[in-house]
Amino acid sequence: MANNLLWLPVALLLLAAAAALVWRLSSERSRRRASELRRAIESLGAGEFRPPDAAHFQGEWAGVAGSLADAAAQIASNSARLSNERDFSAAVLASMTEGVAVVDDRERILFANGAFAEAVGAVEECRGRTLIEVVRHTSLIEAVQGALARAEMVRAEVEFGTVRPRTFALTAAPVAPR
């Protein structure tokens, strides 16, 4: 009778050990899957649109990996489209004969095309400099300040040059902040 009762604790111990082993293997597998998804998300954040290999995942993990792959494809597509639009806009602005400058609320130049730099006689890069550093023209500065202060479009005529003066039509308009 004692031998018959001895097998019960041994069986329970073996069953507990097997359950612990299955839990450990399952836990390790889940940790690896989560780690692979974390790496995929980090690469997505770094601009590398490499989705995880969905074949490595099963069940709910496969659904998460599939959603991440779909998001990566959509982000890559949007990024390519935005890059193309940016390149197109930059080419248009660079080829314009009209001067274009974008100035922030602190009167710092965020963008200026070549025609603007030529018109104001700038010999250095305009971007990042204040308007007063680049343009020594009171009418232009006042127009920009007026557009910024009143948040409305200001139109004026500005004359540049003393030897061979040139007159420009100026439009200063506020732009919604980024």
Answer yes or no: are the C-beta atoms of 126 and 116 closer than 8 Å: yes
**pLDDT tens, residue by residue, 73-90:** 888 899 899 999 999 998
* Per-residue confidence (pLDDT) for residue 5, from 0 to 100: 65
pTM for this prediction: 0.60
Answer yes or no: are the C-beta atoms of 72 and 49 closer than 8 Å: yes
User: Of 106, 103, 126, whose CA–CA distance to 116 is shortest?
Assistant: 126
Record the tokens describing residue 94, joined without a space.
């660079």
* Per-residue confidence (pLDDT) for residue 84, from 0 to 100: 94
Answer yes or no: are the C-beta atoms of 111 and 92 closer than 8 Å: no
- What is the average pLDDT across 1-24? 65
User: Of 62, 7, 8, whose CA–CA distance to 33 is shortest?
Assistant: 62
Query: What domains are there in the chain, each with its CATH number?
Result: 2-86 (no CATH), 97-172 (3.30.450)
* Per-residue confidence (pLDDT) for residue 28, from 0 to 100: 75
| Band of pLDDT at residue 3, cut at 50, 70 and 90 | low
What are 67-74's contacts with CB under 8 Å, separation 24+? 68/37, 68/40, 68/41, 68/44, 71/44, 72/40, 72/44, 73/49
User: Of 116, 111, 122, 82, whose CA–CA distance to 175 is shortest?
Assistant: 111
